[in-house]
Amino acid sequence: MTMSQAVVPSHLEELIVALRCLPGVGPKSAQRMAYHLLQRDRAGALRLSQALELAVGTIKHCSKCNNFSEHEICAMCLSPKRDNSLLCVVEMPADLLMMEQAQCYRGMYFVLMGRLSPLDGMGAKELHLDRLVKRVQEHPCELILATNFTVEGDATAHYLATLLKSQNVKVSRIARGLPVGGELEQVDSGTLARAVLERREVSA
């Protein structure tokens, strides 16, 4: 859609273009967002402007776990309450949040900030795997791979397992199978096949 200069003020057009940096926002959504902000929520727009500037200016990556942090080392890595002998590798900060919400884990984390995906330019270097290896060398611990069960997540886990085998550490991956409350009738056949393949012995 072309918008003539006479119809759309230039600063409005700039805002519409700028909004398209948000993932999943196309030309129509960007236009709707810009109109909404100017018409209904100018205070919100200013707050967003300031939040963006502040976040970009202050948020970097924790040098230990690679998660977003305002400090050189994040609060979680500094916490004395976390178990130093366990290291869980996740793809994104959102995955770390899910792990924390599940309240099943009190160890440390390493956030890849992505997954192996050579076509998208995500290789071992972009995922800072050298840092992960160095950390394991300096402080041997048990590794739990919690990448997603997607093709790329599987490939990343496989690559990490191969990479870390030489470090002589215990490496495991979180279990795949039927969800809690799941019924055989409703689960997809791929998951069911995996659940049969990765069955566990039942202690009598």
**Chain residues that interact with its own copies, rule: CB under 8 A:** 1, 3-12, 14-15, 17-19, 21-24, 29, 31-39, 41-42, 44-56, 58-59, 67-70, 74-76, 79, 92-94, 96-97, 100-101, 113-114
- Least distance from C-beta 7 to its own copies, angstroms? 6
Toward its own copies, which CB reaches closer, 113 or 187? 113
- Least distance from C-beta 107 to its own copies, angstroms? 14
d(CA 157, CA 154): 5
Toward its own copies, which CB reaches closer, 15 or 143? 15
Which helix (H) or strand (E) segment holds residue 76: the answer is helix 75-78
Per the CB < 8 A criterion, the answer to whether 20 and 30 are in contact is yes
- Least distance from C-beta 145 to its own copies, angstroms? 20
Toward its own copies, which CB reaches closer, 77 or 157? 77
* Distant-in-sequence contacts of 173-182, Cβ < 8 A, 24+ apart: 173/144, 173/145, 173/146, 174/144, 174/145, 174/146, 176/149
Per the CB < 8 A criterion, the answer to whether 145 and 171 are in contact is yes
Toward its own copies, which CB reaches closer, 16 or 144? 16
d(CA 67, CA 53): 19
Toward its own copies, which CB reaches closer, 43 or 184? 43
- Least distance from C-beta 198 to its own copies, angstroms? 29
Per the CB < 8 A criterion, the answer to whether 61 and 116 are in contact is no
Q: What angle do CA 192, 198, 200 make, to 5 degrees?
A: 110
- Least distance from C-beta 192 to its own copies, angstroms? 28
Per the CB < 8 A criterion, the answer to whether 115 and 129 are in contact is no
CA distances from 36 to 32, 91, 106, 180 (A): 6, 34, 43, 42
Toward its own copies, which CB reaches closer, 40 or 165? 40
- Least distance from C-beta 83 to its own copies, angstroms? 15
